[in-house]
Structure 1
Amino acid sequence: MRSENGSTYRILALDVDGTLLDREGTLRPSTAAAVARAARAGIRPVLCTGRRYRRARPIAEQLRLDAPLVCNSGALVKDPSNHRTLWRADFEPDLLAELLTLFHAHDELPLSFTDRPPEGLDFLVARDPTGRPLYDDYLSRNRGHGEVDPHWPERIESGGHYHICTIGSRPDMLTFQSVIMAQLSGRVRTFVQKSPRYEGTMCEVLHHDASKWSALLHLAELWDVAPAEICAVGDDANDVPMLQGAGLGVAMGHAPADVLAAADHITGDHDNDGVAMVIDKILR
């Protein structure tokens, strides 16, 4: 339970897909039991996920967690007890306008996640269907949760946009990521990653100030927790900032090479109780 510098871990930051959940998207009883052991020992589990709030809440409920949820790869922090937004990293209107111009110039369709009450809709799209199979797979699996508004990209002055993405093949998304970073490096943060739930790969764009680590630091400040008192566990590109910043950054064994390189420690994979192994390590 003590870190290498002698401090006690007080926050256990846990990615969801590929970390807490196995390759089938299942929360294993052994993983849930380990998270409960950490909580009983005084280490506060915090879910830090690329999922939007609607899809993060059921995992927190399965684990019986009452802590705020870091959602949308760190662009949004929500309190599930009252659905209040604790922190959000919005794009400035001029930056968002430049970003949407790039989407249009490269024939990529933007999807903007929204921060609304639980009974509200989760994202904005200009059309549905789009005629693009990988994009339409995402829309069809989220039917009833998206607002179709052909003119939303023209009405951005009111703000509230914090997470923009597009969906396609991995090569196309990597190419578009390069385009974005060539134009907006230092102003935005991008991730190219694939959820096992969907056929397509996402190119996600956040404000440069947004990351799971930025969101965690906001909570740590509220709770008077030092960065050295945080243990973070993850497996993908959007986990790298928190693995590098935490007192103990742990990569899942199946993570890609760049994620493994960012970690202080490598645990087992998501099919072999990797999270439970980490918790056993820090509770010794």
Structure 2
Amino acid sequence: MNVRAIFIDMDGTLLKASNNISHRNKEAIYKLMNQGVKVFLATGRHYEVTAPYHKEIGIRTPMICLNGAAIHDAETRRVLQKKTVRLNDERFHLLTAENPWNVIIHTADGVYCKETNEEIEYWTKVGQIPPQYIGDLRQANYQDVLKYSVRTGTASPKVSALFKEEAEVVDWNDGFELLAPNVSKWSAIKSLLPELRISPNEVVTIGDGPNDIEMLRHAGTGVAMGNASEKVKAAADFVTGHHENDGLAEFIERYLLKSYKSFAI
């Protein structure tokens, strides 16, 4: 199979738990790029905490951020595409404000959150931009929402199901995320492929989370990380090693690099 592009998730895939890219992963990506394969990042992160890693690797392809709700040009920071989600905010906040859940709202202008935490402090350190607002979100003046994230601390499918008529729902073990209907990393990938003149069959996608399932299922080759759940692994064609053990590089070296490849995929 002729692979012309690879779309790589960040957390739990490209990055170790320390939020660092290993030397082995970098080397595998560099060798793949030297073969002419286009490398993209496809992440649930917002632009400001994606761009530093994009720059570290040295790739110039567009960045798929916020689970596909935004695509950014690597050179100009310009938003090439954005998909906003429209909820009944009064109903949303009636449900979330009275519960001990953190709520993070990603907008075209920045992050609004109910309270800060270690993750948001990390975003501020890496992205060099603090949240636009911290506090009671019923009092916040925000617009152009790209993603709502509700951190309940546990899987909450009964709560997230209340929003399925308004939004695309991604359920996590510690809460859920809400996007515009039919928005996913895969929908963003599909929007980029025609201009690149690349077929979905020529695409490899690799990830570990529920927000990766669509791209693993529909790309020519979907690869799940060893640290992924069984549901994510079931959507993939291959399962590689754990992200702490350079599972990304393991797959690239074994199946995609001409000097390593033992058989075609």
| TM-score (normalised: structure 2) | 0.84
Measure the CA separation in 1 of the matches of 2:117 and 2:242. Answer: 31
The CA deviation at 1:224 is: 2.1
Aligned to 1:269: 242
Aligned to 1:282: 256
Q: Is the alpha carbon distance of 1:27 and 1:145 closer, same or farther for their aligned partners in structure 2, counting shifts above 3 Å?
A: same
Give the one of 90, 95, 113 matched to 1:125.
113
- SS of aligned partner of 1:35: helix
Given the alignment of the two structures, is residue 18 of structure 1 paired with residue 3 of structure 2, yes or no? no
Identical columns (%): 25
5+ long unaligned stretches in structure 2: none
- SS of aligned partner of 1:27: coil
Give the one of 132, 147, 168 matched to 1:189.
168
* Contact 2:8/2:40, CA 8 A, preserved across alignment: yes
- SS of aligned partner of 2:132: strand
Measure the CA separation in 2 of the matches of 1:241 and 1:262. Answer: 8
Aligned to 1:110: 103
Aligned to 2:183: 210
Aligned to 1:87: 81
Give, as a single letter, the amino acid of the residue that structure 1 aligns with 2:177: E
The CA deviation at 1:205 is: 1.5
Measure the CA separation in 2 of the matches of 1:80 and 1:271. Answer: 27
Measure the CA separation in 1 of the matches of 2:33 and 2:91. Answer: 44
Given the alignment of the two structures, is residue 246 of structure 1 paired with residue 225 of structure 2, yes or no? no
* Contact 1:231/1:249, CA 8 A, preserved across alignment: yes
Instruction: Give runs of aligned pairs for residues 140-219 of structure 1, distance below 5 A.
Output: 140-142=121-123, 145-148=130-133, 153=138, 159-169=143-153, 171=154, 174-175=155-156, 177-181=157-161, 183-193=162-172, 201-219=174-192
| TM-score (normalised: structure 1) | 0.79
The CA deviation at 1:247 is: 0.3
- SS of aligned partner of 2:228: coil
* Contact 1:15/1:234, CA 8 A, preserved across alignment: yes
Give, as a single letter, the amino acid of the residue that structure 1 aligns with 2:106: F
Give, as a single letter, the amino acid of the residue that structure 2 aligns with 1:38: L
The CA deviation at 1:258 is: 0.5
5+ long unaligned stretches in structure 1: 3-7, 117-121, 195-200
The count of residues paired between Structure 1 and Structure 2 equals 253
Aligned to 2:66: 72
* Contact 2:226/2:241, CA 8 A, preserved across alignment: yes
C-alpha RMSD over aligned residues = 2.5
Aligned to 1:119: none
Aligned to 2:27: 33
